[in-house]
A and B are shown apart, each in its own frame.
Chain A
Amino acid sequence: MHPTSDTFKDNARSALADAQLQRALSGLPTGLVAQRTAARAKLPEFEALREIGREIKNHTLAHLDLYLEEYEKNATAAGAHVHWAATAADARRIVLDICRDAGARTVTKGKSMISEEIGLNAHLEAAGMEVVETDLGEYLVQIRREAPSHIIAPAIHLTQDQIEADFRRLHTHLPGNRVLIEPGQLVNEARTVLREKFLAAEVGITGANFLIAETGSSVIVTNEGNGDLTQSLPMVHIVVASIEKVVPTLEDVSAIIRLLARSATGQEISTYTTFSTGPRRPGDPDGPEAYHVVILDNGRSAMLGTPFQEALRCIRCGACMNHCPVYEAVGGHAYGWVYPGPIGSVLTPQFLGVKRAADLPNASTFCGRCESVCPMKIPLPNLLRHWREAEFAQGGGSMSFRAGLKLWAFLARRPRLYHSAARIGIALLGVMGKSKGAFRRLPGAGGWTRHRDLPAPRGRTFQQLWAERQAGVE
């Protein structure tokens, strides 16, 4: 996809002014957030499992080369074709070659963020294939020619009215006067339309939530069953998975699936967790005759050995964005690339370069909710801070921002000077704001006062009050 992360501020402004979007996003706190809280309360071991999840991923990442080799050995023994793709272009080429060899005209897809990352659909379409997203949310955004705005709820930015309008526009073979009032009626219509695609497809492509070294299996987690129809009906099943998806054993998967659905949707477990190993066996009446796994790097290996290695623990549950005040305000599209929310603000500068995504790590109050809910305990605010430092080191930011930051740094390193400057400043503002108690406008603070009043200081700094309190003056 064409990134727009470099215009984040403009994207965010239009998102805030988009009434339809704001209505769609308004359900987030009572929906996914409340559901996660409830699910977590029902499992007293949840916090202990977070620590275990972190340990599993840390161990695996520290031995990533060896676990990938073990995975490949066991997958190949079960009849899988394992392909290695260093770049997005390599992965696109490998998948297209497999589809061509299979004589594919229709390709169905389960939900896969990796396929968004590598721009797979456009590549297959350019080769003349019909590519059909079968996850309902992905289908809803595909028919609008949009990208997903959330990693587990791709159409979270759409209201039911918009979906109905799209279906009426697109499904013209159905009666124009049909009733589409209930969500169930819209789901039924999609089910009927997509069922034909499932049955017609020559190739089915899914992502993977996990690759298991012990068994050579790939795992998908879904609620709709679309991923299973995608991979069970066509003759060829292709899995696209990135290197950090590998875990050692079924016991490790067991521990992490206890975290995944609870963190994502607040379910005890997603409806379907499917382990796929090799193609159909001799005597099997169904399942694909060929099973390919494309293992993608696309820049991830460069994160190893850096502070960003911690971000490779991510299991793509979406909890960080569900709990992010910035995401809740502007939605996922404003972030301008594949991965939105806090994890997106960490990954996008890595993938596109900090110059093209500099606003993302700055679009955070460092409130820390993302880190506190992350099932893999990724220190997201800390990683965002790394990007801010990298951006500054590379000369990013406006002249006035850089000058201001330099002035502040100069003062902050000289405590006595800082305290004197603060005393003078606070005293001055205290006098100026005394009559009204707040500033409607203040030179240099327009970013704040444009939207709300700035409460006036009372004339003395915290340091002064503290010193007086310590001395017993009160």
Chain B
Amino acid sequence: MERVLLKNIENPNSADINEYLKIGGYKSLSKAFALQPKDIIEEIKKSGLRGRGGAGFPTGMKWSFADADPRSPKYLICNADEGEPGTFKDRILLERNPHLLIEGIVISGYALGAQEGFIYLRGEYPHAKDVLSRAIKQAYKNNYLGDNILGKGVRFHITVYQGAGAYICGEETALIESLEGKRGQPRSKPPFPVNVGAWGMPTIVNNVETLSNVPYIIDVGGEVYSRIGSKDCPGPKLYCVSGCVERPGVYELPMGTSLREIIYKHAGGIKGGRGLKAVFPGGISTPVLPGDKIDCPMDFVSMPKFDSMLGSGAVIVMDESVCMVKVALRSLRFFEHESCGKCVPCREGVEWLRKIVERIEYGKGREGDIELLSQVAETISGRTFCPLGDGAACMVLAMIKHFRYEFEEHIKNR
């Protein structure tokens, strides 16, 4: 497959506008300006592009909801707050290919009738902030941003907003709260941000990788794009592989590449030739899979059929030496720390889950603890405003389902 998102990143100066222009950068922007905004939305719909932040919502549909809202101004927000443990795909795009993202944002803004865009960048990425700020300055200087872009009368401005270390702000309504200068707590939905978003106005929130697909779709057309990878959710996908593999890193592959191929062909297999025990296919919020269940196509539609989810495409590989109780405990500490405190089932339930797994890990587990874990997890599921609590519950339930013996072992032979 031709590289779309990671094109030219071996070039040490790939983040510079001149290098980007040399490989045809910003050509899609000129092409887009010759089209009607509605035609661009149609093209995105035709492409089948789905949001790459984790939920996999059809981008064209999201756009048309916002487009149907007659109110203005509309705002475009780029969600660059990737915080799902194991995920570092957007960092590569931000640090190595920022002009692709800027071009995607400007095209999207034009299509949606938005004149202002905000990139909500996680605070933990200071280097990305520097690179991105430099790239935005270059884009202004070259008239790809501003009040009269390319002399076509199109106005679009980008502001970078730096987050401050809250995972929950990756959730779009929490992100909007944070951008408005508040605690990042998710809002009740509906209304959805496409109608009532930032400052009460229609707002489109798209992930970095999603927006970075837009220039290519405009370049080749939605039809051609839709033939890449899985039929139901096409396109190139960035998979980030970490943990016990020979070659951890970001791999751009057709959507739907099998988990086995990602781990064994691209990431070089398990480190030191050890056995594979378990994999989080899309970050720790996606149900863990045992090592013998990795023949599944990694896309948004297929993964639920294999008892998991694609999430952010963050493949965390664990070899036979890794203790799953310990992994569950570390994951729960994460969810407990990041729970925003708004919904009681999540705030109290996740802490409770952590306490139970902690005593199991520390050799103080009690008979009935596994049942109690299931009960608490099931009580959290579906009873919160946002998916954070679900993520924690899912993680625990999948751990018990596939690695129950390990929890039992900890309780019995302590």
Asked if A and B are interacting partners, one says no
Enumerate chain A interface residues (CB-CB to B < 8 A).
none
